């Protein structure tokens, strides 16, 4: 089961009484947990909702799992980052037994901020009850922003939501934080792409894309200034190569889509679901031949090897890769 199926079960009131939440998307995970906890808010929550953190002991968890609800039909027990689900955590055989004998009057949610160790006994017992919270699709993020904006009386202008995702990344806690900045700064009830660029903090991928846009437009002096700015912020040169490779790989994918080798939907999927990036890459890809793009990717791979083998300093290798891309020329196909 994934979070989408869980949310449907919440809407329909068809929840089971045992779950293991795991995965990298903690924002949506927390929202789903909050929605479930709200279902128990009316039945003496101080008596029937118990939340344990990582430091909880085995006996107190078992006691909560075996307790009967007070003045209510059901009780909820949430165990966050249970040590028995972690690779180096203590075994909790009593918890495993309590889970296997869980009463219908108790709902138990084991909540992991990341993954559970599949080799642990408790993880195996919970396997049929796992709910994965993976990264959201771009369409799901824009839907969240659209609804959230409407609730606040704010409208997102065309392209602004996609620009936010492009600049910040697809991790929902970062999206929500940057959206709060925009809501606070918005004075006319409308958020534009210019607002996103002005108020939001860009991630490394977005900064690398900005630099590569300058390279692809032949503005090498400005590209070098942008590189110095990124490095001054503490980013490691070897990390930049990954962003540069992703940017150039996007040209290759867009080129393949234009030539009919893959569908547009498949291209967008390969680009982490970013329609905004695909549209941007499609425009730039028309200015390069396939062999030029392949040559740029080869230069990036060689630069990364030079760094890892100690044959070239980090910054020098990055600059070598950038100039190789610039030198690919501006031929049109």
For the segment 291-296, the average pLDDT, to the nearest whole number, is 83
Q: Residue 325 pLDDT more than 70? A: no
pTM of the predicted model over 0.85:
no
Summarised one tens digit per residue, pLDDT across range 224-258 is: 888 888 777 777 766 777 777 888 888 899 999 99
| C-beta contacts of 222-228 below 8 A and 24+ residues apart | 223/322, 223/326, 224/319, 227/318, 227/319, 227/322
Summarised one tens digit per residue, pLDDT across range 176-231 is: 999 999 999 887 899 999 999 888 877 766 777 778 777 777 787 888 888 888 77
Identify the band that residue 327 occupies on the pLDDT scale cut at 50, 70 and 90.
low
pLDDT, residue 328, reads 57
Helical spans, DSSP H, in the chain: 3-12, 26-39, 45-48, 58-66, 93-100, 121-126, 138-152, 160-168, 172-185, 193-199, 204-216, 220-232, 237-258, 264-270, 275-285, 290-308, 314-327
Q: Residue 332 pLDDT more than 70? A: no
Q: Residue 333 pLDDT more than 50? A: no
pLDDT, residue 331, reads 44
pLDDT, residue 261, reads 93
Identify the band that residue 14 occupies on the pLDDT scale cut at 50, 70 and 90.
very high
In this structure, the number of other CB atoms found within 10 A of the CB of residue 320 comes to 16
pLDDT, residue 312, reads 67
pLDDT, residue 296, reads 80
pLDDT, residue 85, reads 95
Identify the band that residue 263 occupies on the pLDDT scale cut at 50, 70 and 90.
very high
pLDDT, residue 330, reads 44
Summarised one tens digit per residue, pLDDT across range 29-68 is: 999 999 999 988 776 788 889 999 887 899 999 999 999 9
């Amino acid at each position: 089961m994934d979070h989408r199926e869980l949310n449907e079960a919440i809407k329909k009131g068809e929840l089971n009484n045992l779950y293991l939440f795991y995965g990298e998307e903690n924002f949506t995970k927390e929202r789903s947990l909050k929605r479930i906890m709200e279902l128990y808010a009316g039945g003496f929550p101080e008596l029937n909702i118990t939340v344990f953190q990582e430091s909880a002991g085995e006996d107190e968890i078992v006691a909560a799992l075996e307790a009967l609800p007070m003045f209510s039909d059901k009780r909820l027990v949430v165990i966050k980052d249970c040590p028995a689900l972690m690779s180096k955590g203590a075994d909790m055989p009593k918890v495993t037994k309590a889970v296997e004998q869980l009463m219908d009057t108790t709902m138990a949610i084991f909540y992991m901020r990341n993954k559970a160790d599949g080799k642990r006994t408790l993880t195996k017992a919970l396997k049929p009850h796992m709910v994965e919270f993976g990264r959201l699709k771009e369409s799901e993020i824009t839907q969240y922003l659209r609804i959230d904006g409407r609730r606040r009386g704010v409208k997102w202008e065309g392209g602004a939501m996609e620009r936010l995702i492009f600049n910040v990344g697809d991790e929902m806690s970062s999206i929500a934080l940057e959206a709060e900045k925009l809501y606070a700064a918005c004075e006319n009830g409308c958020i534009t792409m210019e607002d996103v660029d002005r108020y939001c903090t860009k991630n490394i991928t977005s900064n690398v894309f900005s630099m590569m846009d300058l390279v692809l437009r032949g503005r090498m002096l400005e590209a070098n200034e942008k590189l110095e700015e990124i490095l001054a912020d503490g980013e490691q040169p070897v990390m930049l190569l990954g962003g540069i490779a992703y940017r150039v790989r996007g040209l290759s994918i867009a080129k393949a889509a234009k030539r009919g080798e893959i569908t547009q939907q498949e291209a967008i999927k390969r680009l982490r679901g970013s329609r905004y990036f695909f549209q941007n890459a499609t425009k730039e890809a028309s200015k390069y031949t396939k062999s030029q793009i392949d040559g740029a990717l080869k230069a990036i791979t060689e630069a990364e090897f030079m760094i890892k083998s100690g044959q070239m300093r980090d910054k020098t290798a990055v600059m070598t890769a950038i100039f190789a891309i610039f030198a690919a020329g501006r031929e049109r196909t």
